[in-house]
Amino acid sequence: MSAGDRKLTEFPYSEPGYGRTVAVVGVGSAGCRISNQLSKESRLFEHFVYVTCDDHDIANVSRGEKVLIDAKATGKNTPFNVRGLLHSRLPEIRRHLADSQIVFMIAGLGGTVGSGLAPIIAKEAKQRNAIVVSILVMPYNFEKPKHYFAGLALKQMRRFSSGVILIDNDELLRNQMPAIDVSALVNQKIALALNKLLGSADQHEFSVGLNNVVDFVKTSSYSVLCLGESGKECRQAVIDAVNHFDNTVDKREAMKSIVHLCSDKSITMGEVVRSIGGLSGVLGRGDMQVEYGLSANSSAVTTAIIMATGFSSTKYDNYDPVDLAMRSFTSNLDPDPDAISHVPLLLSDLEA
C-alpha cells in the first residue's frame, strides 16, 4: 500500500506518544536546532533523527539518533559536494527510518547541508512508502547567494514530499532585537508552532492534531505557516499573522487554513469566535475552510499560528534561474522535471 493510500487514522498516539511510527528528521543547522527544540517541548514525538555536517548543531541534543557527516576534507563545500558524502551513510539513515510511516522533514534551504541533503533523505523516506511532510525554512531576502540553491532544493522537495510547509524567515521575525538572539528566537517560534499544531497533549488546550494536519498538507499546492503576536488581543494577533502572508503568496488563493491561538486562561469563547470568525474575509476569497485549536496556558504574549494551503505559487518560484529560463523558453510546453533537476549536476562549481 502506497503512502497516498494509507489512512491517517492508522496513526493514533498512545501513551506516551507516537513511538517510532512517526519520525522527526532535522537536516542541517536550522533543521537540527528546530527539531531539538521541538523534542524539548513535545510529549508526543519520541523519534528524532539529526543529520548534519557540524557537530555544534547536535552538541545539546539529549535524545535521538545523530548522523554526523565529516565534510572538512572536501575543501570548498557546496550542496553537490556534501550530497556525495551522504551516500555512504544512507544505510544508517534507512535503519533509523525503517519503522517510520510518517516522516516530518525539517530543514533550512539555501545552506550547504539543508539544500544538499534534505531532498535525498526525503526521497529515501518516500521510497519506503512513508508519508513525507517537509517543513522548510526559506532564506532571508538579503541572502541572495542562497536563493539559487534554495529554489533548486524546494523544487526537489516538492517531488519527494506528500506535502510542503513553507516558513518565510523575513515574515517570521520583523521586530528589532539583538542579532545574536534572532536565530534562537526563530527556532523557538517554529518549534512552538509545530508543537501546538500537531498536538502537544498539555492541559488547558486542544489541537487540530497530527492526523488532520498531515491530511491538510497532502496537496500539490504550497502550504505556508505564519505567526502573529499581540499584547492580549487574539483578534489583533490573527490580523498580524494574516499580514505576513502578503509578501510570500497571493493570500486570495488560500483554500483551507488551520488556526491555533495561544493565550491565557482568561480567554473566552466569544473572543475565539471574533478572532477566527472574520478570517475568511481577509484570507482566501470568502469561502475558505477554517479549523482551529486553542492553548489557554500561556503567560506570554498572545500568539496566533496560521497555516494556510492552496497556493499555486510563491515568491520562491523564481529563485532557480535555470528553471526560470527554461520556463520562459518553453512557455507552451511541460518540461521534464527530471531533466531540469539534473542541470545543476553539470554546474557543480557554480556559486549562486
The residue that leads in pLDDT, 142 or 120, is 120
pLDDT surpasses 70 at 346:
no
Q: What is the pLDDT of residue 215?
A: 92
Contact in structure between 337 and 320 (CB atoms under 8 Å): no
d(CA 273, CA 265): 16
CATH number at residue 34: 3.40.50.1440
Q: What is the pLDDT of residue 351?
A: 37
Strand (E) or helix (H) holding 163: strand 163-168
* 260 within some domain: no
Tell how strand 302-311 and strand 222-230 pair up: antiparallel
Q: What is the pLDDT of residue 342?
A: 43
Once rounded to an integer, what is the mean pLDDT over residues 30-53?
93
Contact in structure between 1 and 129 (CB atoms under 8 Å): yes
Grade residue 341 by pLDDT with cuts at 50, 70 and 90: very low
pTM of the shown model: 0.85
d(CA 92, CA 351): 30
Once rounded to an integer, what is the mean pLDDT over residues 32-60?
92
pLDDT surpasses 70 at 42:
yes
* 332 within some domain: no
Q: What is the pLDDT of residue 337?
A: 45
pLDDT surpasses 50 at 348:
no
CB atoms near residue 44 (< 10 Å) = 19
d(CA 110, CA 82): 13
* 322 within some domain: no
Range of the domain at 53: 16-216
pLDDT surpasses 80 at 7:
no
Q: What is the pLDDT of residue 328?
A: 56
Which of these, 32, 75, 22, lies nearest to 55 by C-alpha position? 32
Which residue in this structure is represented by grid cell 533523527?
49
* 137 within some domain: yes
pLDDT surpasses 90 at 344:
no
**What are the tens digits of pLDDT across the range 55-114?**
999 999 988 999 999 877 666 677 888 888 888 899 999 999 999 999 999 999 988 899
- Number of alpha carbons in the 13 Å side-chain half-sphere of residue 45: 30
Grade residue 343 by pLDDT with cuts at 50, 70 and 90: very low
pLDDT surpasses 80 at 10:
no
**What are the tens digits of pLDDT across the range 286-333?**
889 999 999 988 767 899 999 999 999 999 988 876 665 555 555 545
Q: What are phi and psi of 209, to 5 degrees?
A: 95, 160
Tell how strand 205-206 and strand 289-295 pair up: antiparallel
* 229 within some domain: no
* 176 within some domain: yes
Average pLDDT, the chain: 83
Q: What are phi and psi of 15, to 5 degrees?
A: -80, 130
* 127 within some domain: yes
Label residues 2-37 b or e (16+ Cβ within 10 Å = b).
Answer: ebeebebeebebeeebbeebbbbbbbbbbbbbbbbb
Candidate from 10-24, 28-42, 172-186 with smallest mean pLDDT:
172-186
d(CA 301, CA 185): 14
Q: What is the pLDDT of residue 67?
A: 95
**What are the tens digits of pLDDT across the range 95-104?**
999 999 999 9
The residue that leads in pLDDT, 311 or 142, is 311
Set of cell numbers at residue 326: 527554461
Residue 352 in 3-state DSSP?
Answer: coil
* 6 within some domain: no
Once rounded to an integer, what is the mean pLDDT over residues 186-214?
84
Which of these, 125, 114, 217, lies nearest to 165 by C-alpha position? 217
- Most confident of the ranges 164-168, 187-191, 228-232: 164-168
Number of structural domains found in the chain: 1
Residue 213 in 3-state DSSP?
Answer: helix
Q: What is the pLDDT of residue 200?
A: 65
Which residue in this structure is represented by grid cell 494536519?
213
d(CA 108, CA 165): 12
Once rounded to an integer, what is the mean pLDDT over residues 271-288?
89
